[in-house]
């Protein structure tokens, strides 16, 4: 006999309640571990009341190893869409309380569907990861599911922003989806990522290491560079995700929104020049320069604890979002090395994909010398930075603050790599190398020919001669390699003026399937 509508509605309510864990038993287990639930996390990242869940009642079809008795509506992942500050976003959140958040075919299909929706509708996607990995009982179906997700990550790359949040385990093949996305957020003591866990490592190599030391947020922030943002609690983490979404366009066909923060466009900072010593051997913190130039002194720094000789991040100039790339003289004198090149190159390519202008602050003595750098591929890795800047078609603005030597000078977005507007401070030194090294090569015979007691004096005179000739911005400016030599305090208004003039920039690459980046 056909059920009455009221009974059918009750059945629906029961199923929805089961999917939503309305009795709170599963949530309690998650809270005992100091973690939030899948839905609590979605509530933190999306605007209140905006979430619309999809496939809440989907279940797996596996009948192996007694799995037919372990079915739950939703199958361990919550998917849907909502808004962040009124802008549409898509989201999936893995639920560790259901079968350890393990991925089976139905689980994967839910994620793939939401990935397809995000791509088709041109909106960012946020993936919240808290999973024990592949559902072993489903065998190759689980592998097929991961493959489908990876495929979609790649197809969406450079088309819509993809953000991953690691708030639990993320191991084995599961790590590759976050690795293929644009930004990874992690929470200290909560999230971890690794290909093989501590037990497998112990069995195979004999190494004894904890889960946190192997793949915790600190390890990935400082050593591997796999994560971009680290927070101490989940609320702060999801606030960070919301902040990032605000800065980015919804897709590659849009421009970032202009937001007036009320900072004066023609603001001058009289102490700016004094922050950078004219003596190129002295260090300073590049953050002090950046904070005086950008709107309200605010920088959303990316990977602050990895390759600290390079600073990257998002800021605003005159309300427009920009990507900041800067050498850090306070760390390794701001040299370029393997990690710094990789860090900057990937960020540059992201900004270029999503129409975010690039502002580069240069104070670089060269590439880091040494056998380890050479043998580990500084040539190949350094070329990534050249490739990224040369390939980028967004507005590119460069400010040479002080040192800009040799091949590193080119790599830091000089005129030859397509810089649209190149500024230099009066203390800028643009040359093949520093004066002492150059004088030692050019005037070696003159120095050696001098009497022993006069060699130090002659060397000092030749160093000064080289400095007078080349260690300034005027030779480059006279040849058109620099557009303008400015007073340091003029930096902010000059950059904002240039950004406005370059707003309509149109630059296209030669027809091709894609370039062959030196990976």
Predicted confidence (pLDDT) per residue in 382-431, tens digit? 999 999 999 999 999 999 999 999 899 999 999 999 999 999 999 998 88
Low-confidence ranges of the chain (pLDDT < 50): none
pLDDT recorded at residue 81: 98
Q: Catalytic pick from 100, 139, 173, 418? A: 173
Specify the DSSP element, H or E, that contains 340.
helix 338-353
Rounded Cα distance, 38 and 53, in Å: 12
Assigned token pair, 288: 């002090």
Rounded Cα distance, 219 and 27, in Å: 29
pLDDT recorded at residue 23: 60
Active site residue 19: no
Q: Catalytic pick from 123, 221, 340, 408? A: 408
Domains within the chain, CATH numbers bracketed: 37-247 (3.90.226.10), 273-433+472-502 (3.90.226.10), 435-470 (no CATH)
- Whether pTM exceeds 0.75: yes
Q: Catalytic pick from 172, 215, 318, 323? A: 172
**Distant-in-sequence, close-in-space partners of 246: CB < 8 Å, separation ≥ 6:** 84, 85, 257, 259
pLDDT recorded at residue 57: 67
How many residues make up the chain in this entry?
Answer: 519
Rounded Cα distance, 55 and 119, in Å: 18
Active site residue 172: yes
**Distant-in-sequence, close-in-space partners of 457: CB < 8 Å, separation ≥ 6:** 450
Assigned token pair, 77: 């992942």
Specify the DSSP element, H or E, that contains 290.
helix 286-293
pLDDT recorded at residue 47: 98
Measure CA of the first residue to CA of the last residue in the chain; give whole Å.
66
CA-based nearest residue to 236, from 262, 217, 255, 264: 217
Helix boundaries (H) for 65-139: 105-121
Assigned token pair, 82: 């909502």
């Amino acid at each position: 006999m056909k059920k009455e509508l009221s009974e059918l509605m009750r059945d629906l309510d029961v199923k929805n309640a089961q999917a939503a864990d309305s009795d709170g038993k599963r949530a309690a287990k998650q809270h005992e571990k100091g973690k939030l639930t899948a839905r609590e996390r979605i509530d933190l990242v999306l605007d209140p009341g905006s979430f619309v869940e999809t496939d809440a009642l989907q279940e797996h079809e596996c009948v192996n190893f007694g799995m037919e008795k372990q079915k739950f509506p939703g199958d361990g992942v919550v998917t849907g869409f909502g808004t962040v500050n009124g802008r549409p976003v898509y989201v999936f959140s893995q639920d560790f309380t259901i079968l350890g958040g393990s991925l089976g075919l139905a689980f994967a299909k839910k994620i793939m569907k939401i990935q397809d929706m995000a791509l088709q509708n041109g909106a960012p996607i946020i993936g919240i990861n808290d999973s024990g990995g592949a559902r072993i009982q489903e065998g190759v179906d689980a592998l097929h599911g991961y493959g489908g997700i990876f495929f979609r990550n790649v197809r969406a790359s450079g088309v819509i922003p993809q953000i991953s949040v690691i708030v639990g385990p993320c191991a084995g093949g599961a790590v590759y989806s976050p690795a293929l996305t644009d930004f990874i957020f992690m929470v200290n003591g909560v999230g971890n990522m690794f290909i093989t866990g501590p037990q497998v490592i112990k069995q195979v190599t004999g190494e004894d290491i904890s889960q946190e030391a192997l793949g915790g947020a600190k390890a990935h922030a400082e050593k591997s560079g796999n994560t971009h943002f680290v927070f101490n609690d989940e609320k702060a983490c999801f606030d960070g995700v919301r902040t990032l979404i605000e800065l980015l366009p919804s897709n590659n066909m849009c421009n970032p929104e202009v937001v007036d923060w009320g900072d004066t466009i023609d603001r001058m900072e009289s102490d700016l020049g004094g922050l950078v010593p004219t003596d190129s051997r002295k260090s300073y913190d590049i953050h002090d320069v950046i904070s005086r130039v950008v709107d309200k002194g605010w920088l959303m720094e990316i990977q602050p604890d990895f390759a600290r000789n390079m600073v990257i991040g998002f800021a605003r100039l005159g309300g427009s979002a920009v990507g900041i790339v800067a050498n850090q003289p306070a760390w390794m004198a701001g040299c370029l090395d393997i990690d710094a090149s990789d860090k900057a190159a990937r960020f540059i390519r992201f900004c270029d994909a999503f129409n975010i202008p690039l502002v580069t602050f240069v104070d670089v003595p060269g590439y880091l010398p040494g056998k380890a750098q050479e043998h580990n591929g500084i040539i190949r890795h350094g070329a990534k930075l050249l490739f990224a800047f040369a390939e980028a078609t967004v507005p590119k603005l460069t400010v040479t603050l002080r040192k800009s030597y040799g091949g590193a000078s080119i790599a830091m977005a000089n005129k030859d790599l397509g810089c649209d507007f190149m500024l230099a401070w009066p203390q800028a030194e643009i040359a093949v190398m520093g004066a002492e090294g150059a004088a030692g090569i050019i005037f070696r015979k003159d120095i050696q020919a001098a009497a022993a007691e006069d060699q130090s004096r002659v060397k000092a005179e030749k160093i000064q001669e080289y400095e007078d000739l080349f260690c300034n911005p005027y030779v480059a400016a006279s040849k058109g390699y620099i557009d303008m030599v400015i007073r340091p305090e003029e930096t902010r208004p000059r950059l904002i003026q240039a950004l406005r003039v370059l707003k309509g920039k149109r630059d296209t690459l030669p027809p091709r399937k894609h370039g062959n980046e030196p990976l």
